[in-house]
Structure 1
Amino acid sequence: MTTFVDRVELHVAAGNGGHGCASVHREKFKPLGGPDGGNGGRGGDVILVVDQSVTTLLEYHHSPHRKATNGQPGAGDNRSGKDGQDLVLTVPDGTVVLDKQGNVLADLVGQGTTFVAGQGGRGGLGNAALSSARRKAPGFALLGEPGEARDIVLELKTVADVALVGYPSAGKSSLISVLSAAKPKIADYPFTTLVPNLGVVTAGSTVYTIADVPGLIPGASQGRGLGLEFLRHVERCSVLVHVLDTATLESDRDPVSDLDVIEEELRQYGGLDDRPRIVVLNKIDIPDGQDLADMIRPDLERRGYQVYEVSAVARTGLKELSYALAGIIAEARAAKPKEEATRIVIRPKAVDDTGFTVTYDETEEVYRVRGEKPERWVRQTDFNNDEAVGYLADRLNRLGVEDALMKAGARAGDGVAIGAEDNAVVFDWEPSMMAGAEMLGRRGEDHRLEAPRPAAQRRRDREAERDDPQREFDEFNPF
């Protein structure tokens, strides 16, 4: 049964925003008391949080589909809908978040580090929030936005200072068990270790973590064996330790050739050339092992390696190795630049940035409008409500979409699509006629709720209308 998973594909869906409410306050002797529709609630976010007590992505391997709760719709009497509850997913320290194309979205290192994997949808405004001096009683409300849904890939890269690499059965698990309190599985057959083991070592005043990387064999960087699955766990280490078996029973192997093979696999994997190397000659408690170590040590030192002879079984040479690793790690930590305080970088938009683009799609023969605001406004519009459609048209006009369409060459009756190709809203464009708008009233207005004119004003208006010669001409002229 699988107990360790370090790479999963996760399908996350944030909560949808609740719809706004279109309601009119009614009470005795006041049937039209004004709009009182509440706003919809915000949809819940999907948030990844680092928890150092979590060591595997196994939970998401078994249940890869995760969804936050939706926001509740608004109601009358100015009651807003309840916000959706955020879905918090705990991940191990060192988890990398990627999209389906392999682009890194976040590198989560450190307890409590968070990343919003899915943004919840905004709640729609109710007609009470949409009312204004010009639009006193809107007969519509805005729809809630759908939550963000996407597929992401989680990869765990172990956060360790030291990585032990070497052939299967070289003694990596035995070494980590005597250097730290870790208790990995140890046996006398290859591929005993199927998951990276992590231990904590204390050497003087330095405390560091050490991990073994299982399954490295020739061709591991191309997918042979288990090496490719676990090579990512050495990427964060400060030092690489080659554990060489000086008592191997295979006639076609020797420690030096094993070192060359592992180095070639690391080179092909890439990104590890700058890490310092240490060579550990293990199993010197065996007579033949000590003889072989004495034979190859000068050759390894000529190559520039620091060489340590140890026996995990007899526990010899471990103290020298532990303090040597502590010194290298202390130097690496001191060389790292100090973390600067978090800064907020503000990048203002360009002066000529309208927030949308208009292009002509020759394939579909439509003018395509793309932009955050136009696409969001379309998602919030109830196209079964003519007044809501009129409100959308007013917003697009104020944003400058109609002027941009005219400059792009659009004419009345041409097709216009707002949004991406897969879910765009397409309509026949009719330019707004602003002439006489004051006479006809703006879209979304309700003249029933206009404040009554004073009696004196109404009397003067009737007298002016009666004395208007144009009125008499219009009544008696059939043409």
Structure 2
Amino acid sequence: MAIPSFVDRATLRVQGGNGGHGCTSVHREKFKPLGGPDGGNGGHGGSVIVRVDPGLTTLVDYHRQSQRRATNGQPGEGDHKAGANGADVVLAVPDGTVIADADTGEIIADLIGDGAEAVIAAGGRGGLGNAALATSARKAPGFALLGEEGEQRSVTLELKVLADIGLVGFPSAGKSSLIAAISRARPKIADYPFTTLIPNLGVVVAGETTYTVADVPGLIEGASLGRGLGHEFLRHIERCLAVAHVIDCATYEPGRDPLTDLDIIEGELAAYGGLEDRPRLIVLNKIDIPDARDLAELVTPELAERGWPVFAVSTKTGEGLPALTYAMADLVRQRRAEMPAPAPRVVLRPEPVASSAPAFTVKQMGDGEGGFVWRVRGEKPERWVKQTDFANPEAVGYLADRFTRLGIEERLLELGAREGDAVAIGAGDDPVVFDFAPQISSGAEILARRGDDQRLHDQRASVRRRRELDAEYHAAKAAAEGLPRDPKQSWRVDGDDLA
């Protein structure tokens, strides 16, 4: 199947890079085997960014490749070495691209202007190493935080052509001929309907005003309902400052005349919606044919009664085109003066959470048989759960301390939670479930004070063996010589004196 050269809609699956894990390391050197924690932080994952490139006019690159992923951050290392950040992936799109969430339809960003960009899949943050977690009370943490996963989602890219004047009308009304006559655009022109299958843009210069004209493919009755190529092209008129109706005055199709054609196209624009405020121009085309000129002269007064400027033109001979181009220029200047200046970067992001909002919520679930299930939701606790290595009891104890400081335990007690109730914390349908144990440390007590590395107080095995051998040697020597035991040769191993 051939891949089209013009694509104005594409669906992408994007994923930010995962953050690198923090490192758990203790500095070691000669005569200083336990010199304190020196584990570095993990690097942040790369993000997927969409940025406007004015040189592009199509989304065809994303029709060919529909999945994009940024690189992961690297894990931290010992000796305070932080992991490298993942590289961002920048997706170039044409000016006027609208990005929406494919699942919810929510608009993420509407990119207008050179360089406008939006982050559509943020990379995960890197985990802290044990050096960054050390405090005066936790001098040598035996754990580090895990890196967060990057954001992943499906997005829809939709191109809406940016033009000042949009030419609309029935197929074969002469729109392509008109844009070719007033600009240097060279669209395909042929004597059959639906010759134009993609929007064409032309740049017109009239006096000191330069503006763009879009040749929108032909519309038919029922286009707003999807007939023909309806919705595929009606959206390209949304950004136009004004609409020009191009009417074929030389058609021989039964039931067709300028007034009827205008009413049908206006009905389709009204049914599509959002174009009521656009000023209109009426272009009566093909007056180089005698019958068409007579018809144009006949309907001009009635069309003028609607309050829209009417121009009779011939794209073949050029008659009436200068007056039309200058009228378009006047209309564009007026509309540009009325429109607010566009912001250089238009990015729609979720509103920040107010500082007064609670950091978490607790909801009681279950029927109470055998204890309740308490569901805790909130950005901080859910993020902390993802950062925790549950294979490390000390890391679990640190997580419990964070929950206590945040007030989760106190809130559960206020709501009537009892020891042994299940507490589920985490996003989605697969949260982490804890047994509620108020005022009880979760496993870290086996490592003495929570967050304190017992290795700093314990002797290494090699030191223990050497001291045991020394104690045995001196004890045997004293016994052989019949001398009393030398108190200076008493050694303490595991709290016991060795004679």
Per the alignment, residue 362 of structure 1 pairs with: 366
Partner secondary structure for residue 382 of structure 2 = helix
| Counterpart check, 1:403 vs 2:403 | no
Q: What is the deviation of 1:432?
A: 2.1
Q: What is the deviation of 1:79?
A: 0.8
Contact 1:136 1:450 in 2 (8 A): no
Per the alignment, residue 182 of structure 1 pairs with: 185
Mapped to 2, the partners of 1:341 and 1:222 lie a distance apart of 35
> Aligned to 2:105, which of 102, 105, 110?
102
How many residues align structurally?
449
Partner secondary structure for residue 328 of structure 1 = helix
Mapped to 2, the partners of 1:438 and 1:26 lie a distance apart of 26
Per the alignment, residue 86 of structure 1 pairs with: 88
Mapped to 2, the partners of 1:397 and 1:341 lie a distance apart of 45
Code of the aligned partner of 1:8: A
Return the TM-score normalized by structure 1: 0.89
Q: Please list the CA deviations of residues 376-418 of structure 1 after superposition, one character each: whole Å capped at 9, or x if unmatched.
A: 1100001111111111111111111111111222111111111
Call closer, same or farther: CA 1:384–1:447 in 2, change over 3 Å.
Answer: closer
| Counterpart check, 1:328 vs 2:335 | no
Code of the aligned partner of 2:9: R
Per the alignment, residue 64 of structure 1 pairs with: 66
Call closer, same or farther: CA 1:95–1:388 in 2, change over 3 Å.
Answer: same
Call closer, same or farther: CA 1:57–1:341 in 2, change over 3 Å.
Answer: closer
Per the alignment, residue 166 of structure 1 pairs with: 169
Call closer, same or farther: CA 1:178–1:113 in 2, change over 3 Å.
Answer: same
Code of the aligned partner of 2:59: L
Per the alignment, residue 20 of structure 2 pairs with: 18
Deviates more, 1:393-402 or 1:297-306: 297-306
Mapped to 2, the partners of 1:150 and 1:347 lie a distance apart of 20
Per the alignment, residue 412 of structure 1 pairs with: 419
Contact 2:20 2:126 in 1 (8 A): yes
> Aligned to 1:132, which of 121, 130, 135?
135
Superposition pairs for residues 420-459 of structure 1, below 5 Å?
A: 420-433=427-440, 441-449=448-456
Call closer, same or farther: CA 1:339–1:65 in 2, change over 3 Å.
Answer: closer
Code of the aligned partner of 2:422: G
> Aligned to 1:381, which of 388, 397, 405?
388
Q: What is the deviation of 1:340?
A: 7.7
Per the alignment, residue 79 of structure 2 pairs with: 77
> Aligned to 1:277, which of 274, 277, 280?
280
Q: What is the deviation of 1:215?
A: 3.2
Code of the aligned partner of 2:364: Y
> Aligned to 1:51, which of 44, 50, 53?
53
Code of the aligned partner of 2:54: Q
Mapped to 2, the partners of 1:433 and 1:15 lie a distance apart of 37
Q: Please list the CA deviations of residues 28-76 of structure 1 after superposition, one character each: whole Å capped at 9, or x if unmatched.
A: 2222111111111000010000001011111111111100000001111
Code of the aligned partner of 2:290: P
Mapped to 2, the partners of 1:55 and 1:446 lie a distance apart of 60
Unaligned runs of 5+ in 2: 459-499
Per the alignment, residue 474 of structure 1 pairs with: none
Per the alignment, residue 349 of structure 1 pairs with: 354
Mapped to 2, the partners of 1:211 and 1:349 lie a distance apart of 44
Q: What is the deviation of 1:337?
A: 3.2
Mapped to 2, the partners of 1:165 and 1:320 lie a distance apart of 19
Call closer, same or farther: CA 1:252–1:96 in 2, change over 3 Å.
Answer: same
Per the alignment, residue 205 of structure 2 pairs with: 202
Q: What is the deviation of 1:162?
A: 0.3
Q: What is the deviation of 1:438?
A: 11
Superposition pairs for residues 114-125 of structure 1, below 5 Å?
A: 114-125=117-128
Partner secondary structure for residue 329 of structure 1 = helix
Call closer, same or farther: CA 1:140–1:371 in 2, change over 3 Å.
Answer: same
Superposition pairs for residues 202-351 of structure 1, below 5 Å?
A: 202-338=205-341, 349-351=354-356
Contact 1:214 1:227 in 2 (8 A): no
Q: What is the deviation of 1:103?
A: 1.8
Partner secondary structure for residue 248 of structure 1 = coil
Mapped to 1, the partners of 2:92 and 2:343 lie a distance apart of 26
Call closer, same or farther: CA 1:313–1:325 in 2, change over 3 Å.
Answer: same
Code of the aligned partner of 1:356: F
Q: Please list the CA deviations of residues 90-131 of structure 1 after superposition, one character each: whole Å capped at 9, or x if unmatched.
A: 010000111122221111000000100111100011111111
Q: What is the deviation of 1:446?
A: 2.1
Deviates more, 1:356-365 or 1:32-41: 356-365
> Aligned to 1:29, which of 28, 31, 41?
31
Contact 2:389 2:395 in 1 (8 A): yes
Code of the aligned partner of 1:359: K
Q: Please list the CA deviations of residues 266-286 of structure 1 after superposition, one character each: whole Å capped at 9, or x if unmatched.
A: 000001011111100001111
Superposition pairs for residues 148-159 of structure 1, below 5 Å?
A: 148-159=151-162
Code of the aligned partner of 1:232: R
Contact 2:249 2:286 in 1 (8 A): yes
Unaligned runs of 5+ in 1: 452-479
Return the TM-score normalized by structure 2: 0.86
Contact 2:51 2:115 in 1 (8 A): yes
Mapped to 2, the partners of 1:439 and 1:165 lie a distance apart of 77
Call closer, same or farther: CA 1:411–1:39 in 2, change over 3 Å.
Answer: same
Partner secondary structure for residue 228 of structure 1 = helix
RMSD: 2.4
Contact 1:136 1:449 in 2 (8 A): no
Contact 2:164 2:212 in 1 (8 A): yes
Deviates more, 1:333-342 or 1:88-97: 333-342
Partner secondary structure for residue 325 of structure 1 = helix
Mapped to 1, the partners of 2:105 and 2:418 lie a distance apart of 42
Call closer, same or farther: CA 1:153–1:73 in 2, change over 3 Å.
Answer: same
Call closer, same or farther: CA 1:262–1:339 in 2, change over 3 Å.
Answer: closer
Mapped to 1, the partners of 2:303 and 2:346 lie a distance apart of 47
Call closer, same or farther: CA 1:50–1:338 in 2, change over 3 Å.
Answer: closer
Call closer, same or farther: CA 1:389–1:401 in 2, change over 3 Å.
Answer: same
Per the alignment, residue 10 of structure 2 pairs with: 8
Call closer, same or farther: CA 1:31–1:440 in 2, change over 3 Å.
Answer: closer
Contact 1:359 1:408 in 2 (8 A): no
